[in-house]
Amino acid sequence: MSTAPQTQVDRVHRELKITGKDIVVGVLDSGVDYMHPALGGGFGPGYKVRYGRDLVGDDYDSDRGTNPKPDPDPLDTCGPKTGSVGHGTHVSGIIAGKSNNFTGVAPDAILGMWRVFGCSGNADDDVIVEAMLDAFDTGVDIISMSLSDPMSWSESLTAVVAERITSKGVAVIAAASNDGERGAFTVGTPSVGKGVYSIASFDNNYHFVTIFEISNSASPQDKKSYGNITEKIPSGEIVAGDIHLGSDVDACDPKTIPSTVKGKVALVQRGTCNFIDKANNLADAGAIACVIYNTKDENLIPAAENAKIPLVGVQNEVGTAIINEMKPGATVKITFFDTPKAKPEPTGNTVSSFSSIGPAYELDVRPNLAGVGGNVFSTLPRQLGGWGTMSGTSMATPGVAGAVALVMNAWQQNNGGQKPSPQFVLEQFQNYAYKAPNKNGEHNVDSPNRQGAGLIQVYDTIQESVHISPATISFNDTEHLQKVQTITITNYGTISASYQILNNVSVSIVPYNNTSNGRYNFSEPAVYGEDTAELVFSQTTVILDPGAHVDIRITVIPPDTNPAEHIMYGGYIQFKNTDNEERRDLTVPYIGIVGNQRELPIYALGTPDLTNSTNITHYPAYGPEDVFIFDRHQSIMTKQELKNVPIFMMTLDNPTRVLSTPLYNEDNVMIGFAAFKNDTINFARSTSSTPAQFIWWDSLIPSFKDSEPPAITSVAPGKYRIGLNALKWFGNPDNPEDWETWTSSVIQVR
């Protein structure tokens, strides 16, 4: 289960004897069980976990509005009943865990833990920023943040702070986010900050599975073993869960469930009704568990935590094999084993399906690097079992943080203790990263918008002496095309190097699923194409003497596609080694978009809406002639409840950096701007998981007359309208044509 061979960490430990000794990695997370044997057994001077504090306490959750209760000890004491999963302990083990049976990426690094999450829930930006600044002031070398807000503007608060910390010489490593199934432009902040390491996830080459065995009374010696289910269910006889087993409506109608399921495990096919309905219908008929097999030859992981009986999913081929055992007169038993086993992962060494897809909203290359985050085994708090497997860019991020510690350790050994800049280390990782195909078995290269420069290769990053800067290129969109760009290749080694320069194109991304009606709905998941750009190089070969550098100009010719489709092209400029079998190739990822992002609509058709509800599926909308009665004496405005408050529901087809909120009196004369309780800057585009965003007005208005910054006052009773004017993507705030405008119906304030 170790990810070390995929990232060459094993070679760094074994051949170079580099373990990250004395490099300090500050972690912002949910606390850490530092009493775990692999994490040092204590906290403070002389221990592995040496720095940090708890900024929030166990009960803190920004979503519930609970107040932080800080204390100086970052220990995770949350038990399983609190909803805690031991996230901070897991990432800490990935970075620097060390025991007889487990080795983290940088086992001799020093850790700090700044606890910003309670036992469950989320954290406000001000808590995260305070932790970042405290870690920086403590003197850490690296900050690792397995956290993300699904918004890709680099001007967001945490992204700006991360950018400034990085500029001061501390590498900030942040998760790209886990919204890959939602399509393009889903990389989150703070990873979109300038200079910040934005980390995508690759799948582990192996994953743990629960093994189960099928036995047939007609041939008791011929037992067949299977695996890859997500939950253990009771062992026992398995029977057909529907009289028409193998139909799309298996167990959807209680009338078609045979009485023979009573006291037995029932097998049904996926289809028509949801998993819980199938399981509950079978439970009502007396079944003790339900196995659902997929309609396709792929893994099935049903989300049915509230079913009446245990429910698991298996592959189509496994379900078919069980059916083949169900011959007339035969008794088929299913037996589950307690000890999980490691099994090859079909998607191993490719980008995880959950890993968010870039680029950043400013079209910077994000993510810019990848670690292994799918099915990662590491430490857990002792009260949660001590060890376990998790998946996410949250797991890839500490793996890269540990790798940065190894590179810093090696650099200091070879340069008299001198510390490399975060930018140089990032570029060196990017130069020598591994590029994966879009899927295993395909003869292509995945998009930089998914894998950035690719999966880290730590040994090559340390050993290779040729370097390219900048290490990524964005040609931007067609309207703002940066057609000619320059990169510099430098030989810091002691022997000459020569390369052939090639354009290694990647798959393209078709971001929208329908543009014919002038609306732009993102494809979820992303759709891939074969549209490629041509690159013209100022020279196609390069020879570098020791200490020499050469500037290479690259001119792009974007693919000839319909600009209305906004095709996202990309690839890798490959410097192919031609003179030394031991020397590695270098690559520089590039991206671009055919089309003008400024022309894209911001608001989805039919929104915004003025309402009094945050129920996305059912809310009353106030039309142009309606009047919203806002009685402030009867209103409630808390994070838990909004009552009798003007609420604005918006579905954003595309992101907007600024939402202007002009306030009009009943004569439609603008009298200022409405002040909202939540921000009106840096909005993310909507997804199927967050189809709408809400802001609400509590009758406040900034007054610029007597103070700077402006004082906030309440409007007098009366009738008002509020505008929500969204700045178009790359729009000029001073150009009225770059705003999408909307004005509410009358709001009568009492």
Distance, CA of 613 to CA of 628 (rounded, Å): 12
**What does the CA dihedral 141, 144, 149, 151 come to, rounded to 10 degrees?**
60
At 391, which amino acid appears? S
Q: Which tokens belong to 267?
A: 């097998």
37 three-class SS: helix
Secondary structure class of 275 (helix, strand, coil): helix
**Right CATH for 468-596 from 3.30.379.10, 3.40.30.10, 3.40.50.300, 2.60.40.2310:** 2.60.40.2310
Concatenating the DSSP letter of every residue in 367-409 gives: S-EEEEEESEEEE--GGGTSEEEE-SHHHHHHHHHHHHHHHHH
- Do 185 and 367 form a contact (C-beta atoms < 8 A)? no
Q: How far apart are CA 648 and CA 641, in angstroms?
A: 15
- Is residue 29 flagged as an active site residue? yes
State the Cα–Cα distance between residues 223 and 337, nearest whole angstrom.
Answer: 14
Q: Please state the φ and ψ torsions of residue 53, each to the nearest 5 degrees.
A: -165, 170
Residue whose pair of structure tokens reads 């803190």 in the numeric block: 60
- What is the rounded CA–CA span in Å between residue 303 and residue 489? 50
> What's the pLDDT at 300?
55
* HSE-up of residue 90 (Cα within 13 Å, Cβ side): 24
Half-sphere exposure of 579 (CA within 13 A, CB side): 11
Which residues of the chain are under the pLDDT cut of 70? 220-223, 225, 227-232, 297-305, 515-518, 638-640, 677-679, 703-710
Q: Are 150 and 177 in contact (CB under 8 A)?
A: yes
Give residue 305's pLDDT. Answer: 58
Nearest-CA neighbor of 148 among 79, 87, 94, 98?
Answer: 87
CATH 3.50.30.30 fits 208-343, yes or no: yes
Active site residue 633: no
Q: What pLDDT was estimated at residue 83?
A: 86
- Interior angle at CA 718, CA 716 and CA 721, nearest 5: 105
* 481 close to 599: Cβ distance less than 8 angstroms: no
Q: Would you call 158 helix, strand, or coil by DSSP?
A: helix
- Tell me which of 13, 29, 242, 250 is the catalytic residue: 29
pLDDT in tens, 168-205: 999 999 999 999 999 999 999 999 999 999 999 999 99
Q: Following DSSP, what letter does each residue of 601-652 receive, concatenated?
A: --BPTT--EEES---SSS---B-TT-EEEE-GGG-EESSS-EES--EEEE-B
Q: Are 36 and 49 in contact (CB under 8 A)?
A: no
- Reduce the DSSP state of residue 665 to 3 states and report it: strand
Q: Which residue has the tokens 């099915």?
A: 375
Single-letter code of the amino acid located at 672: G
Residue-level pLDDT at 619: 82
CA distance linking residue 673 with residue 683, whole number of Å: 18
Task: Sort strands 508-514 and 521-529 into parallel, antiparallel or unpaired.
Answer: antiparallel
DSSP conformational letter for 724: -
| Residue 443: active-site member | no
DSSP 442-489: -SS---HHHHTT-B--HHHHHH--EEEES--EEEEESTT---EEEEEE
**For the purposes of burial, counting CB atoms within 10 Å of the CB of 187, is it exposed (0-12), middle (13-18) or buried (19 or more)?**
buried
Cα distance between residue 669 and residue 487, in whole Å: 53
DSSP-assigned beta bridge partners for residue 537: 554
Q: How far apart are CA 115 and CA 76, in angstroms?
A: 9
Task: Name the class of domain 1-205+358-463.
Answer: alpha beta
Q: Which tokens go with 416?
A: 């008299």
Please count the other Cβ atoms lying within 10 Å of the Cβ belonging to residue 486. Answer: 11
46 — alpha (psi -120 to 50), left (phi > 0) or beta?
left
Facing residues of 75 across strands? 32
Q: Where are the domains of the chain?
A: 1-205+358-463, 208-343, 468-596, 609-749
Cβ atoms of 444 and 505 within 8 Å: the answer is no
Do 93 and 104 touch, CB atoms closer than 8 A? Answer: yes
> Among the options 62, 144, 148, 394, which is catalytic?
394
**Is 185 in contact with 685 (CB distance < 8 Å)?**
yes
Write the DSSP string, 46-96: TSSEEEEEESS-TT--TTTTPPP--BS--B----GGGT---HHHHHHHHHH
The reported pTM is 0.88
* C-alpha dihedral sign at 63, 607, 359, 529: positive
Rounded Cα distance between 582 and 490, Å, is 18
Residue from 13, 87, 207, 467 carrying the catalytic annotation? 87
Instruction: Say how far apart CA 562 and CA 514 lie, in whole Å.
Output: 13
Write down how long the chain is: 750
Residue 87's contacts (CB-CB under 8 Å, 6 or more residues apart) are 29, 30, 117, 146, 390, 394
